[in-house]
Amino acid sequence: METIIYTIDKDHMDMEKINEAGAILAKGGLVAFPTETVYGLGADAMDGRASQKIYAAKGRPSDNPLIVHICELEDMDRVACHIPESAYKLARAFWPGPLTMILSKGENVPLSTTGGLDTVAVRMPSHPIARAVIKASGTYIAAPSANTSGRPSPTMAEHVIEDMDGKIDMILDGGKVGIGIESTIVDLTGKVPMILRPGYITYDMLTGVLGEVCVDKAILSENADKNFRPKAPGMKYKHYAPKGDLTIVEGTPEHVAERINALCTQAKAQNKSVAVIAARESAGKYHCEHVFSIGSRRNEESIAANLFAVLREMDELHVDVIYSESYYDDGLGQAVMNRLLKAAGHHVINADDETFVGGE
């Protein structure tokens, strides 16, 4: 299939191109477009056969449900039912924006969109291109991140082209996205609202509106995939992992730098190519041929925005071994560490541990 690629300026949208994208979606086709979090791969959420095509293009397991994207608050009542007051409170506080709510599924949403579940994930994005495309389609849009299943989510159209060129009808290139990690998911179908996936809307922001909120134990746990079944089915799959072997090194900054440098020397002696992922403030401490500055510790948003692009660059460099510093795990840092730990398969070394004698 020939994939049409259009560049769209979000401040001066070419409505002819947007309407063409809307028409493809209305006919059951696939269109990738930017959202404020990551690029999404859209299909008509109300047409079971259209949303099934997403699974084929991504190579995604079909029990992994899709998020339904809407562009007006009233649409929430059309795709969900028995909506609790908490959903309206969150919508007023954070929509349009990077928050997904799990609600009871409306009758008209096909089970093939929700992976067979009787709940539905609903999100109203704020990105002007995403909103315009949903509106032009005249329907609601099921959209997972527009990457091949297992790869880092796309934060630039180039990433989408890498994974989806030739497999989908259209890609709208709206430049680099702002946030860079996927939306926060909160489940509102239980007694207490539960965060299933951390994101830009943090725990504190949610408790500020709702009071009590709990967090799915699976989020930062090493045993997420085995012992606790995560409530968001997608959280159980291996995700984001670069092809090289990624290890996170945590501890006091001096010890982390010493340990990573020692590990780099060791890997080089074994003829392995190595890369280091570090904060801007400490990137200069590493003696390694590939050192990637991921962003500033003083600005967690910069780390979130660059994380997936840096993980993809590791694959382009074909490095064998990757060492990454650890980042704060509160606020937005929780979302960053959730993605980084998954990418590393929860392989973490503590550099303050004295027992290191030069061999891991």
Annotated binding residue 145? yes
Smallest gap, in angstroms, from Cβ of residue 310 to ligand TXA?
18
Q: Does 100 bind Mg ion (CB under 5 A)?
A: no
Of residues 152 and 333, the one with the C-beta less far from Mg ion: 152
Applying CB under 6 A, which of residues 50, 235, 278, 340 lies at the interface with ligand TXA?
Answer: 235
Binding partner of 175, given ligand TXA, Mg ion, none, CB within 5-8 angstroms per partner class: none
Residue 293 structure tokens: 């500055």
Shortest approach of Mg ion to residue 107 CB, angstroms? 27
Residue among 219, 220, 193 nearest 206 (CA): 193
- CB nearer ligand TXA, residue 190 or residue 284: 190
Residues 6 or more apart whose CB falls under 8 angstroms from that of 105 comprise 79, 80, 81, 114, 117, 118, 119, 120
Q: Which stretch binds ligand TXA (CB under 6 A): 139-147, 208-216, 283-291, 337-345?
A: 139-147
Instruction: Report helix angle 203-210 to 85-94, nearest 10.
Output: 130
- Find the residue with minimal CB distance to ligand TXA: 234
Q: Is 149 in the site for Mg ion (CB under 5 A)?
A: no
For residue 207, the one-letter residue type is T
178 binds ligand TXA (CB under 6 A): no
327 is in an annotated binding site: no
Segment lying near ligand TXA (by CB under 6 A), choices 61-69, 156-164, 293-301, 310-318: 61-69
> Two tokens at 138?
């005249």
Residue range at the interface with Mg ion (CB under 5 A); choices 77-85, 142-150, 190-198, 222-230 = 142-150
Question: Taking CB under 6 A as the rule, does residue 37 contact ligand TXA?
Answer: yes
287 annotated ligand-binding residue: no
Q: Binding partner of residue 322 among ligand TXA, Mg ion, none, CB under 5 to 8 Å per kind?
A: none
Nearer to Mg ion, 197 or 259 (CB): 197
Question: For the chain, what's the residue count?
Answer: 360
Helix 128-137 × helix 15-26 angle, to 10°: 50
| β pairing state of 321-325 and 274-278 | parallel
143 binds ligand TXA (CB under 6 A): yes
Residue 145 within binding range of Mg ion, rule CB under 5 A:
yes
In the complex, the smallest distance separating the C-beta of residue 121 from ligand TXA, rounded to whole angstroms, is 3
CA distance 237 to 224: 10
By a kind-dependent CB cut-off of 5 to 8 A, residue 275 interacts, out of ligand TXA, Mg ion, none, with none
**Is residue 152 a contact residue for ligand TXA (CB under 6 A)?**
no
The verdict on whether residue 324 carries a ligand-binding annotation is no
Could you tell me which residues are annotated as the binding site?
A: 37, 60, 64, 69, 119, 123, 143, 145, 153, 183, 197, 240
